[in-house]
Chain A
Amino acid sequence: MNQQPGTSGLIFNEPLLWDKSRDGRCAMSLPKSDVERAPLDENLTGDAPQLPQLSELDVVRHYTRLSQWNFGVDSGMYPLGSCTMKYNPKTNEVQAARQGFASAHPLSGDEFSQGALKLMYNLEQYLAQITGFNAVTLQPAAGAHGELAGMLMIHAYFATKGKQRSKIIIPDTAHGTNPASAALCGYTPVNIKSGPKGILEPETIAAIMDEDTAGIMVTNPNTLGLFEANIKEIAEIVHSKGGLVYGDGANMNAIMGIVKPGDIGIDVLHLNLHKTFSTPHGGGGPGSGPVAVGKVLEPFLPIPRVVKELDNYKLVTDFPDTMGRIHTFYGHFGILVRAYAYILSMGAKGLTDASKLAVLNANYVKESLKGTLNLPYDLPCMHECVFNDEFQKEYHITTMDIAKRLLDYGFHPPTVYFPLVVDGAFMVEPTETESKEDIDQFIDAVKAIAGEAREDPEKLKKAPLLTKVTRLDEVAAARKPCLRG
Chain B
Amino acid sequence: MKEINDLNLLDDVKYTKSHEWTKISGDIVTIGINDYAQDQLGEIVFVELPETGDTFSKGDEFGSVESVKAVSEIYIPISGKIVEINEDLEDAPELVNESCYDNGWLIKIKPEDVSELDDLMDKDEYLNMLKG
Contacts and interface: CB of A to CB of B under 8 A. Distances in A.
Interface of A: 417, 474-475, 478-479
B93 interface: yes
Contacts of B66: 478
Contacts of B67: 475
A479 B47 CA distance: 10
A417 B43 CA distance: 18
A479 B94 CA distance: 9
Instruction: Please name the 3 residue pairs, one residue from A and one from B, whose CB atoms are nearest each other, closest first.
Output: A478-B45, A475-B43, A474-B68
Contacts of B43: 475
A475 B68 CA distance: 6
B126 interface: no
Interface in B56-73: 66-69
Interface in B2-51: 43, 45-46
Nearest to A475: B43
Contacts of A475: 43, 45, 67-68
A474 B45 CA distance: 9
A279 to B, nearest CB: 30
B73 to A, nearest CB: 15
Interface string B61-97: 0000011110000000000000000000000011000
Chain A residues touching B, majority SS: helix
Contacts of A417: 69
Contacts, number: 14
Interface string B92-107: 0110000000000000
A475 B46 CA distance: 10
B38 to A, nearest CB: 14
7 contacts: A417-B69, A475-B43, A475-B67, A478-B66, A478-B68, A479-B45, A479-B94
A475 B67 CA distance: 8
Contacts of A478: 45-46, 66, 68
Contacts of B94: 479
A336 B21 CA distance: 55
Contacts of A479: 45-46, 93-94
A479 B46 CA distance: 6
A476 to B, nearest CB: 9
Contacts of B46: 478-479
A422 to B, nearest CB: 16
Contacts of A474: 68
From B45, B46, B66, residue with most partner A Cβ within 10 Å: B45
Nearest to B93: A479
B46 to A, nearest CB: 7
A417 B70 CA distance: 12
A479 B43 CA distance: 10
A481 to B, nearest CB: 9
Nearest to A417: B69
Given A475-B43, A475-B67, A475-B68, 4 more contacts: A474-B68, A478-B46, A478-B68, A479-B46
A271 B113 CA distance: 54
B61 to A, nearest CB: 15
From A417, A474, A475, residue with most partner B Cβ within 10 Å: A475
A438 to B, nearest CB: 31
Contacts of B93: 479
Contacts of B69: 417
A45 to B, nearest CB: 38
B42 to A, nearest CB: 8
Interface in B104-130: none
A412 to B, nearest CB: 20
A175 B66 CA distance: 21
A426 to B, nearest CB: 16
B86 to A, nearest CB: 16
A478 B46 CA distance: 8
A48 to B, nearest CB: 35
Nearest to A476: B45
A21 to B, nearest CB: 32
B128 to A, nearest CB: 24
A474 B46 CA distance: 13
B14 to A, nearest CB: 30
B85 to A, nearest CB: 18
Nearest to B46: A478
A167 to B, nearest CB: 20
A417 B67 CA distance: 15
